[in-house]
Amino acid sequence: MELPTKSFEAVIDAYIIADIGSGNLQILLFQLTAQELSSENTAKSKMKAIAESLCQRPSKFL
């Protein structure tokens, strides 16, 4: 998974749960570091940043 450095550092693990239609639809699961989960606002902000980065990819994702 290609992410900006700050987002990449916030993720412990990432998994592709499903890849439908040769990458047209992907379902991803990622685990954030404890620091990113320290507050609800921090977690929301980081998940939004990751989602925006993933939206730049040519596939749809969940």
Residue 60 has pLDDT above 60, yes or no: no
Using the predicted structure, report yes or no on whether residue 47 has a pLDDT greater than 70.
yes
Q: pLDDT tens digits, residue range 23-40?
A: 678 888 989 999 998 999
Cα–Cα distance between 31 and 8 in angstroms, integer?
11
Instruction: Decide: 11 and 5 in contact? Cβ < 8 Å.
Output: no
Query: Residue 18 pLDDT > 60, yes or no?
Result: yes
Cβ–Cβ < 8 Å for 7, 50: yes
SS3 state of residue 29: strand
> CA angle, 28 as apex, 23 and 33 as ends, to 5°?
145
Domain spans in the chain, listed from the N-terminal domain onward: 5-61
